[in-house]
Amino acid sequence: MIRVAIIGQGLVATHFAVGLERLKNNEIPDHGVPLGTRLPYKYSDIEIAASYDIDESKIGKSLYEIAKKSYEGPGEIPRALKDIYVRRGIHLASTRGLPIKARGREEESDLKIAVEEIIGEWSELGVDVVVNVMTTEPVEAVGSIEKLHRGFENADLTASQTYAYMAALYSSRYSSAAFINAIPSPIANDPAFIELYKNSRAVVFGDDGATGATPLTADLLEHLYERGRRVLGVAQFNIGGNMDFYALNMPERNIMKKITKSSMIEDILGYHAPNYIRPTGYLEPLGDKKFVAMIIEYLSFGEFKDELYIVARINDSPALAGLLVDLVRLGKLAIEREAYGTVYEVNAFYMKKPGPPGSKVISKFHAYLKLLKWLKLRDHRIPE
């Protein structure tokens, strides 16, 4: 069994919960789960043990009730979700500026007490994997483990950092756990957390789940690189109507995404190409199905200029939810393999900003090969 605690019961978590139960019930095929049945864990091995949020309108509700309100997809909401209730989590001002009535457990007592309570719950539930899918928060890497400990002591960390710290504490006290950081906050890219996780016999995957147009852009750039084409410039626009776009529309949160993508182009192409890649706006009627528009201009042989335009409509939350079905299983696997700290081969494929710090961004195609190799899996489509 893989027992999962979710941080942030937003749309991604809801799609994960609904999809997972429907997968277990054989109601849907496993589209959008990259490794599918090739991993040594079955879908039915995964169990959502707990969920945390700080939105007053969600706390105390069952995942079933939450899905009823926000899930707009084919099929029925699985009844199994009636048994999982949202618990009050750590707030630490992570929703500042968002239209949410929020109150964290630390606001009811004290951060230390809240932390101990939650770790206690994890221990009781036998949590293996903590999945962080809260809304994007503005934050920078801590840097050194001393500063990290101090930050925790002084309640100076963000919510994500605090949860990541808690997962390490939990691992060192009870049993090794994996922390899946699917948002841009630098955890797997923070040397402080890498050191902490190694010391604590814990695993962190991150940062920022590789969905949307960015992995596609990476592979398009790889495609152009392999043909020797010279990329002149890349512009990529994103607009959507979910809470994450609402949050990213705030300049201080938007910057998180720009950082995520900054080195990708140079790492893949081997030279700098001017670019403009970032979430661009919020348009409510688009809902969770975002609109992406992209232009790539490049020089072909003889300096002729070609143009590539991509327009895409992508269901934002389901895409990440599908990756989580792999990531929670890979988290458990990494623990079993005692791959403490982080695993580049996992991050390179599943994350936009793969840790550990200083890692190169490679195309997703190359990352996929590295992942298969780490898993000792073969690609049966490819002749030897």
Closest distance of CB 108 from its own copies, Å? 35
- How far CA 217 is from CA of 119, 179, 186, 221, 289, in Å, comes to 39, 27, 22, 6, 18
Size of the site for its own copies (CB under 8 A): 85
Maximal CA-CA distance, the chain: 69
Which residues, including other chains, have CB under 8 Å from residue 383's CB and lie 6 or more apart? none
> How far is residue 287's CA from residue 244's CA, in Å, rounded to a whole number?
10
Q: How far is the CB of 268 from its own copies (least distance, A)?
A: 7
Any contact of residue 276 with its own copies (CB under 8 A)? yes
- Give start and end residues of each alpha helix (H) in 54-211: 63-70, 105-108, 111-125, 145-153, 159-173, 191-199
Residues 6+ apart with CB under 8 A from 225: 268, 269, 270, 363
Least distance CB 22 / its own copies (angstroms): 7
Q: Which is nearer to its own copies, 89 or 240 (CB)?
A: 240
Q: Which stretch binds its own copies (CB under 8 A): 50-58, 104-112, 188-196, 217-225?
A: 217-225
Among the listed residues 65, 201, 250, 291, the single contact to its own copies using CB under 8 A? 291
Count how many residues are written for the chain.
384
- The single residue among 26, 36, 109, 337 that binds its own copies, judged by CB under 8 A, is 36
Q: What DSSP assignment string belongs to 32-53?
A: T-TTGGGSSS-GGGEEEEEEEE
Quick one: 145 or 255, whose CB is closer to its own copies? 255
| Rounded distance between C-alpha atoms, residue 217 and residue 167, angstroms | 33
Written as six digits, the tokens of 70 are 């926000």
Between 166 and 268, whose beta carbon lies closer to its own copies? Answer: 268
Minimum CB distance to its own copies smaller for 186 or for 356: 356
Beta-bridge mates of residue 351? 209
Piece in contact with its own copies (CB under 8 A), picked from 62-70, 170-178, 254-262, 294-302: 294-302
User: Whole-number minimum distance, CB 157 to its own copies, in Å?
Assistant: 30
Contact indicator for 203, 343 with CB cutoff of 8 Å: yes
Q: Which is nearer to its own copies, 149 or 230 (CB)?
A: 230
| C-alpha torsion angle, residues 57, 59, 61, 62 (rounded to 10) | 130
Write the interaction track for its own copies spanning residues 309-328; mark x where CB under 8 A is met and - where it is not: xxxxxxx--xx-xx--x---
Q: According to the binding rule CB under 8 A, does residue 101 interact with its own copies?
A: no
In the sheet with 178-181, reading across from the earlier edge strand, the strands are 86-88, 46-53, 2-7, 129-132, 178-181, 203-205
* Of 165 and 282, CB closest to its own copies: 282
Which listed residue (26, 44, 57, 300) binds its own copies by CB under 8 A?
A: 300
Residue position matching structure tokens 């955890």: 187
Residues 189 and 357 sit within 8 Å (Cβ to Cβ)? yes
Of 98, 145, 155, 283, the one binding its own copies (CB under 8 A) is: 283
Which of 101/276 has CB closer to its own copies? 276
- Restricting to residues 239-268, name those near its own copies by CB under 8 A: 239, 267-268
Task: Pick one of 99, 154, 285, 376: the residue that binds its own copies (CB under 8 A).
Answer: 285
Is residue 28 close enough to count as binding its own copies by CB under 8 A? yes
Q: Work out whether 382 is an interface residue with its own copies (CB under 8 A).
A: yes
> To the nearest whole angstrom, how small is the minimum distance from the Cβ of residue 353 to its own copies?
16
Output the six-digit token pair for 276.
């403009």
Regarding 306 and contact with its own copies (CB under 8 A), the answer is yes
CA distance 44 to 23: 8
Restricting to residues 351-380, which ones interact with its own copies according to CB under 8 A?
360, 362-366, 368-369
Residue 18 binds its own copies, judged by CB under 8 A: yes
Interacting residue with its own copies among 116, 117, 156, 222 (CB under 8 A): 222
